Amino acid sequence: MSVRVVARLRPLLDKELEKDIIVNAEGSKDGKVTNIVRIPNPKNESEEFSFAFNGVYDMETTQEELFTNEVAPTLKSLFQGLDVTLFAYGVTGTGKTHTMRGGLKLSERGVIPRLLSGIYRRGRKVAKDSGGETSVSITLSYYEIYNDKVYDLFEPPEKRSLAGLPLREKDGKTIVVGLSERACDDLKDFEKLYIEANNNRSTAGTKLNAQSSRSHAILMVKVHQVSSEGTLISTASAIDLAGSEDNRRTDNGRGDKRIPYRESKMTRILSLGQNNGITIMILNLAPLRSYHLDTLSSLNVSSRAKRIEVREIENEIVFTQPPRKANTSGASLQQRQPLR
Ligand code: ADP
Ligand code: MG
């Protein structure tokens, strides 16, 4: 299975003008699904480039529609033991944070609060359907990558070590060593924790878009399903990436050392090539001419991402007790068996 890549075009904002629209997002045409984004060739505007995606969402798309179409269907797999990774990619100002976090109004809530709400609802159902045999609990980790260093967002900035937290490979996954994990029992708990953590971001308090666009925020929601058989853990990750714009263009004269995207920690964490489970990339787009070159380059990057293969491997149940039915190979406490 490969990465599912969908594009979302944001609407015009207050001071933006209809005449500056150059991007066309088409989900369907004449009743047929087309899923195409069109943009003029900057070198020759009589020509047009077309990009095909697994899904295309136009300016009118609501937060609810996006969630219902793209994220809700992954919840079942998550509870079956697959990891789910959702990330928003695109130029600064295209709607990544709006898509992932969203606004305060209920209808404006983004993917993340809706995901949590869906996980709690499904968790209650799984527990109920098992007749109390399975209990479900949720823990959260939340970190940011800023200047290629990893910081725990559940720790206040003054407790941070400047060096950040190290990364390590474990069982084919990249883990952040020393990252804290908080139990979170319901949506109310989540909202409180999430708001606090967002205030811990390196860029919190600064209104400087140039800075806030440089931090990646990664929320990991671990689902623990515990029964007499053992524990099954799967993780949903929701990632609000830093702006994809070419900093060589936007930082002229700043003298910052630019970290190439390819070698950054972020790339390692996304580690698309070795990712297991379901990955959905949401490419956020602004409709305006002022974003022309950056929009084109993000369209190119994300259409390449479609071809990255992802292995769909379920997490395994870890037995707390020897399996009831003895295994001829001698099942031990450590032995892992896939959950059916
Ligand atoms: P990014 O995180 O990619 O830099 P933001 O999410 O901050 O971009 O969005 C930039 C601006 O556009 C914000 O003011 C945001 O509220 C607005 N915006 C983005 N997407 C939408 C949308 N789908 N509907 C309404 N407003 C949006
Ligand atoms: Mg943002």
Minimum-distance ligand 1 atom for the alpha carbon of 90: 3
The pTM (predicted TM-score) of the whole model is: 0.87
Q: How far is residue 184's CA from residue 191's CA, in Å, rounded to a whole number?
A: 10
**Ligand 1 binding pocket mutation candidate from 98, 99, 284 (most atoms within 8 A of CB):** 98
List pLDDT tens digits, range 213-270: 788 899 999 999 999 999 999 999 999 988 888 655 444 354 444 445 545 555 555 6
CA-nearest residue for atom 16, ligand 1, is 98
The ligand placed nearest to the CA atom of residue 15 is: 1
CA-nearest residue for atom 19, ligand 1, is 95
Q: Could you write out the DSSP letters of every residue in 243-309?
A: P-S-HHHHTTTT-PPPPPGGGSHHHHHH-GGG-BSEEEEEEEE--BGGGHHHHHHHHHHHHHHTT-B
Model pLDDT, residue 205: 52
Minimum-distance ligand 1 atom for the alpha carbon of 240: 2
Site residues for ligand 1, CB cut-off 6 Å: 10-11, 13, 90, 92-98, 213, 284
List pLDDT tens digits, range 263-322: 555 555 565 434 568 989 999 999 999 999 999 999 988 887 776 666 666 777 776 655
328 among annotated binding-site residues = no
Q: How far is residue 215's CA from residue 209's CA, in Å, rounded to a whole number?
A: 11
Q: Is the pLDDT of residue 33 over 60?
A: yes
| pLDDT tier, 199 (very low <50, low <70, confident <90, very high otherwise) | confident
- Rounded to the nearest integer, the mean pLDDT of the chain is 84
CA of 216 to the centre of ligand 2 (A): 9
Q: How far is residue 221's CA from residue 139's CA, in Å, rounded to a whole number?
A: 6
97 among annotated binding-site residues = yes
CA of 125 to the centre of ligand 2 (A): 34
Model pLDDT, residue 280: 93
CA of 328 to the centre of ligand 2 (A): 54
Q: How far is residue 312's CA from residue 65's CA, in Å, rounded to a whole number?
A: 26
Complex ipTM value = 0.99
Residue 146: which H helix or E strand, with range? strand 135-146
Q: How far is residue 51's CA from residue 222's CA, in Å, rounded to a whole number?
A: 34
The ligand placed nearest to the CA atom of residue 110 is: 1
Q: Is the pLDDT of residue 209 over 70?
A: no
CA of 232 to the centre of ligand 2 (A): 33
CA-nearest residue for atom 17, ligand 1, is 95
